[in-house]
Amino acid sequence: MMRKMLVWPVIALMTLGLAGCASDKKQTTAEIEDASVGAGGVSASGLGSGSDASGQVIGSQAGTVDDPLSRRVIYFEYDSSVLTDEGRFIVEAHAAYLASNPGMAVVLEGHADERGTREYNLALGESRGAVIGELFQGLGIDPSAIRVVSYGEERAVALGHDDNAWAMNRRVEILY
């Protein structure tokens, strides 16, 4: 009898403990924007703004507000893979860096917002990455040093369902 009386409180405590572990904290668009804004005013890759994979500083002014090499994210308009003037400027700076470091390879990760089918967004992310890859090649970068990967809508940086979140997710990340 005593055993039965102890079983129910133990089960209740275990259930409460497990329920506490399963909670997901949803981030708002504002929290993500605050967390992803780097020194240059835009998002940086996971390698850190202004450094390559070895941790070396890229360029002589890396980390300054005006340094295009500190910018590793190119943003696109809705349903478009056309580079903006600012995007072209950033890509040209990275192409110059790659040209001066011939052993360096680059990965271009294409992303899209959540609107559209999964297949369409994967193709759009691929197209966005390919546009930058083609520009790199046109600026003299060896095609074997360029790899394009598309994640479509799968790796959103902003989880909201509004224009600001969608704009942050329409991007290509430049990774060394």
Domains of the chain: 74-175 (3.30.1330.60)
Q: Which amino acid type is present at position 26?
A: K
Query: How far apart are alpha carbons 168 and 74 in whole angstroms?
Result: 10
Element (H, E) at 121: helix 118-138
Confidence of residue 110 (pLDDT cuts 50, 70, 90): very high
Report the pLDDT value the prediction gives residue 42, as an integer from 0 to 100: 31
CB 170 within 8 A of CB 111: yes
Q: What is the pLDDT of residues 123-160, one digit of tens each?
A: 999 999 999 999 999 999 999 999 999 999 999 999 99
Residue 108 phi, psi (nearest 5) = -110, 110
Q: What is the mean pLDDT of residues 54-62?
A: 43
What CA dihedral angle connects 72, 84, 152 and 98, to 10 degrees? Answer: -40
CB 124 within 8 A of CB 164: no
Residue 75 phi, psi (nearest 5) = -100, 150
Q: What is the mean pLDDT of the chain?
A: 77
Position 115 pLDDT exceeds 50? yes
CB 40 within 8 A of CB 174: no
The burial class, CB within 10 Å (0-12 / 13-18 / 19+), for 48 is middle
CB 139 within 8 A of CB 149: no
Q: Would the pTM of this model clear 0.75, i.e. be above it?
A: no
Report the pLDDT value the prediction gives residue 69, as an integer from 0 to 100: 87
Report the pLDDT value the prediction gives residue 5, as an integer from 0 to 100: 60
Confidence of residue 75 (pLDDT cuts 50, 70, 90): very high
Q: What is the mean pLDDT of residues 90-112?
A: 96
Position 50 pLDDT exceeds 50? no
Q: What is the pLDDT of residues 21-49, one digit of tens each?
A: 444 444 443 444 333 333 333 333 333 33
Q: What percent of the chain has pLDDT over 90?
A: 60
Report the pLDDT value the prediction gives residue 138, as an integer from 0 to 100: 97
CB 166 within 8 A of CB 114: yes
Q: What is the pLDDT of residues 61-72, one digit of tens each?
A: 445 556 888 899
